[in-house]
Every structure is written in structure tokens, then in C-alpha cells.
Amino acid sequence: MSGHVLITGANRGLGYELLKVFHANNYVVFPLIRNNTALQRIREEFSERCYPIEGDVGLDSCKKNIELTIKKYTNKIDILINNAGIPGVEYQIDKVNTSEVYDLFNIHCLGIIRTVQATLPFLFNSSNPRIINVSSRLGSLSKMASGEFKDRHFSYSYRIAKAAQNMLSICLHNELNSKGIHVSVIHPGRLKTDSGSSDADMEAFEAAELIFKWIQTLNKENSCQYVQPFFKELKW
């Protein structure tokens, strides 16, 4: 059990814990990190089988960096984990500013378009290629429509961006599954990270271990899931 995995936003929070668990399980890891100081820290911490990519998923330039770095070391990526994300702030329509909504849409949704475009040729060289998009329970249209979070102060920008990310993931599944690629979406749990919500109840390393085990069960036959791994299936 090993392979090549690219994880975006891997310098802290859930991404960092995923990096640790994949690396500990002998994977060749490609952490994508936008901050150069953090990138150097990761380079020093993981001296073997770890090839950091400097990149901001909010910018088109990350595509070139992804392609060049992967090409230096391999011709295949088995697993792409789109984890990078930022929280939003404004939860009242009269306060919402469109630049916040744009920023979150850009990172959570367009960022995935960029990383998929850059890694697709390498995914096609894998015998079991998987794309995992780290979404949220807050991306669920069904949950929102049922009023589940009606009285909570979750930002417009985050909910819109994660719902768009879910739709993008379904579009990717519809196009890529017949070509052998698994595409799924996860809600990782309510994690005690810098971006965690007020009802966080799980450590990021616990979620990372579950996500790692769950990813081992995936193949082209069980694509298009929206789940909290080993806990529950979510309604789109």
C-alpha cells in the first residue's frame, strides 16, 4: 500500500495531518503550500519522499509549478486531495461583500479546476486514480434547504463556495469516471483547527487517519460519494 499523493494546503490543519499520515504510510507526498517559510519548514521536517510545491490555488500560476514539480520526480499521481481553503466572515446579506464571495469561490472552486487540470495527465498514468475534494456539511443544498443551520452564523461566501465545489465535483465525476477516475467529496468532521467552527469536536489528526483509511477503499466503481468517512453519508 503506497503511491503518489498531492495534498493542497498541507502546511497546517487537516492538510498537514493528511501529509503526516500518508508519509508515515510510505507514500511519496507532494504538499502544495503557498507560503515559502511554511514550505521550507515542511521540506526540513519531511526529508525523504516529500516534494513540496510552492503554489497558491487561487492563482493560475500554480498549474505550472504543479506540473514542473511532479515531472521532476514521477509520471503519475494516484491521489489528488483538494484540501486548501479559507473561511468566510459575513453572514448577513446587507454586510456581504462581493470580493469575499469571489475570493472563496476562487479558492474552493476555481482552485480545484486548476489543480485537476495540472494533475490530470499524471492521474491518467495511475492504476487507481482518485480525486478527493474536501468540502463541508455546509455545502449541502439539502441541509441548507431543510433549515438545519438556519440559526447559525455561517458566512454566505463559505456556503456558496462549498456548494459550488460540490457541483464541480459531480461534474468531474460525470466526465472522468468513465475514463477510470474516482471523484468524491468529503465533510471531514467538525475539526479543532484554525478554521474550525464553534461546535468543533474532533482533532484534525483523528479525521486524517479516518480519511486515509477510507481513501484506501476507493476505486472507479464507488465514485461520487459525499460522506464523512466512516461516520455518515450526506445528502447533496
What is the Cα–Cα distance from 208 to 192, expressed in whole angstroms?
12
Instruction: Give residues 151-180 in contact with ligand NAP (rule: CB under 6 A).
Output: none
Query: Nearer to ligand NAP by C-beta: 206 or 220?
Result: 206
Handedness of CA 80, 157, 106, 193 (dihedral sign): negative
Query: Nearer to ligand NAP by C-beta: 157 or 197?
Result: 197
User: Cell match 480519511: residue?
Assistant: 211
Q: Are 198 and 16 in contact (CB under 8 A)?
A: no
Sketch the per residue contact string, 196 through 235, with ligand NAP: x for CB under 6 A, - otherwise.
xx--x---x-------------------------------
Range in contact with ligand NAP (rule: CB under 6 A) among 40-48, 123-131, 191-199, 219-227: 191-199
What is the Cα–Cα distance from 30 to 79, expressed in whole angstroms?
10
Binds ligand NAP (CB under 6 A): choice among 20, 23, 34, 63: 34
Cβ 117 to ligand NAP, closest distance in Å? 15
Query: Nearer to ligand NAP by C-beta: 60 or 75?
Result: 60
Asked if 88 touches ligand NAP (CB under 6 A), the answer is: no
DSSP-based helix, strand, coil % in the chain, nearest 5 = 45, 15, 40
Q: What is the DSSP string of 65-108?
A: HHHHHHHHH-S--SEEEE---------STTT--HHHHHHHHIII
Asked if 134 touches ligand NAP (CB under 6 A), the answer is: yes
Range in contact with ligand NAP (rule: CB under 6 A) among 20-28, 39-47, 51-59, 228-236: 51-59
What crossing angle do the helices spanning 204-215 and 13-24 adopt, rounded to 10°? 50
Sketch the per residue contact string, 101 through 120, with ligand NAP: x for CB under 6 A, - otherwise.
------x-------------
What is the Cα–Cα distance from 1 to 26, expressed in whole angstroms?
8
Query: Nearer to ligand NAP by C-beta: 90 or 180?
Result: 90
Query: Nearer to ligand NAP by C-beta: 86 or 170?
Result: 86
Closest CA to 218 of 142, 154, 130, 134: 130
DSSP 3-state of 199: coil
The site for ligand NAP (CB under 6 A) is made up of 8-9, 11-15, 34-35, 38, 56-58, 83-86, 107, 134, 136, 187-188, 190-191, 193-197, 200, 204
